[in-house]
């Protein structure tokens, strides 16, 4: 059950949905804040009260979706302590597929890698279960591989089921 949202949460969601709608037609750099607030039906000050940039708006929205999804599903946040890789990965693939429209827009606009590598290191850590990683090189490797896997899955229009993706990830082919 979705929790009741405050007025500010509703405004933030309206802004994010407006941005995503606009991104289906144009590049993010071509979209103005004025366009976003007009489509969202809110005042310009609502945008700047909550966000410093369009990228921050987009990242914030996806992270909020992620937290809400995983709070409702009560899924493991990291591997270990009796949680196997498959139990960890399956809900993450479900999340991506369930929000496929958002990830398709990110991919179409060339923002998937930007998002994983630059905009939200914390989300990469959450998606990959690496909550205590200190090496920036290790995080770069994980963010690149996560983005690559998701990019390829999107390119294939989610042809494989979430279960097949987990199997491919958890048990990669022996021959390349």
The string of pLDDT tens digits covering residues 17-61 is 999 999 999 999 999 999 999 999 999 999 999 999 998 898 888
Quote the CA–CA distance of 167 and 82 in Å, as a whole number. Answer: 19
pLDDT digits (tens, 9 = 90+) for 86-113: 777 788 889 889 999 998 998 898 887 6
> Do 139 and 130 touch, CB atoms closer than 8 A?
yes
Residue among 141, 134, 130, 147 at smallest CA distance from 77: 130
In this prediction, what percent of the chain has a pLDDT beyond 70?
70
How much is the pTM?
0.77
Quote the CA–CA distance of 148 and 175 in Å, as a whole number. Answer: 19
Quote the CA–CA distance of 58 and 6 in Å, as a whole number. Answer: 19
């Amino acid at each position: 059950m979705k929790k009741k949202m405050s007025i500010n949460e509703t405004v933030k969601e309206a802004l994010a949905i407006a941005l995503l709608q606009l991104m289906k037609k144009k590049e993010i750099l071509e979209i103005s804040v004025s366009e976003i607030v007009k489509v969202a039906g809110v005042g310009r000050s609502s945008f700047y009260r909550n966000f410093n940039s369009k990228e921050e708006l987009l990242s914030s929205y996806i992270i909020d979706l992620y937290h809400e999804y995983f709070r409702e599903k009560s899924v493991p946040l990291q591997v270990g302590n009796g949680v196997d890789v498959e139990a960890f990965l399956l809900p993450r693939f479900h999340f991506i597929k369930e929000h496929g429209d958002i990830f398709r827009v990110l991919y179409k606009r060339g923002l998937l890698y930007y998002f994983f590598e630059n905009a939200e290191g914390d989300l990469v850590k959450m998606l990959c279960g690496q909550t205590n990683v200190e090496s920036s090189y290790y995080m770069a490797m994980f963010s690149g591989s996560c983005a690559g896997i998701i990019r390829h899955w999107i390119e294939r229009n989610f042809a494989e089921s979430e279960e097949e993706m987990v199997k491919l990830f958890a048990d990669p082919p022996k021959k390349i």
